[in-house]
Structure 1
Amino acid sequence: MKHWVGRPVIMYCGEKPYTILRGVLRKWDAAAGVAVIGHQEIAVPFHDIVFIKALAPKERALAPVLHSVGFCLRERLQFDNAIYFKSAVTVWRGDQLVAYNTTIISHTKGSVTLQGGQHVPKGAHLFVVRSLRG
């Protein structure tokens, strides 16, 4: 089974319903009788492993989620990237929330057009973007 070492795998362990572990097989230790999987290096005894198969490419990636940390848009390139990546943007005017979780459609030197067609001046508003992770 050493041919699985270093490859992304899915490991079925225990009895039905199986415990499913996904990740890169880090080590196959015949002396200790365990297989080590994942970045957390979980050691699984050989007698608990029912079967192992290669992880399909679509199963490897995690679904994209929003970062919990945002940053303020100030430069032209940042606005361009927010449009290109369809990033979630929150718009503030002082302490007042103007738009939540919207996207920017276009921008000029002095204004921004939001998803609903609303035009917002750049100088009077703060644009906070949260990018997608994954």
Structure 2
Amino acid sequence: MSWDKHGKEDELLTWKDVMEVERYVYTVGPDGEAFLRGLREGKILGRKCPRCGRVYVPPRLYCEYCFLENGEYVEVKEPYLDSFTTIYFDNREKRLDEPITVGLVRFKEATGGLLAIVQGIPEIGKKVEILEYSIPLRVRA
């Protein structure tokens, strides 16, 4: 079975309106706080399940396989590019001066991943170097 998406660019749906986000206060919670603290220190943190050993990036409170509260925070290493796309137009259909490559960065022996702006020539499965610990990450392929 194929999950390929077919369609025309002019058929894509977009939301063109103003959202009044200043009225809401969102908190990142304890896992988000630890994750952001790690970014400031130049680390990518995940959280490890005490039963199955899965490490979730970004950290999450519960293991989705064991339904237990995850345990310790661990630093993950060995980032690699799992998938990517190159963007040539902005959301108002104006051609960008320079295309932007956005990729999903995963980490060896971890579940989940993080979005990143990719510099260099992207290649799926290729190790990447984290240039900037921010949201989104900035990496070099």
* TM-score between the two structures when normalised by the length of structure 2: 0.20
- Which structure's relative contact order is higher, taking Cα pairs within 8 Å and 6+ residues apart? 1
Say which one has the larger Rg.
1
Higher strand share: 1
* TM-score between the two structures when normalised by the length of structure 1: 0.20
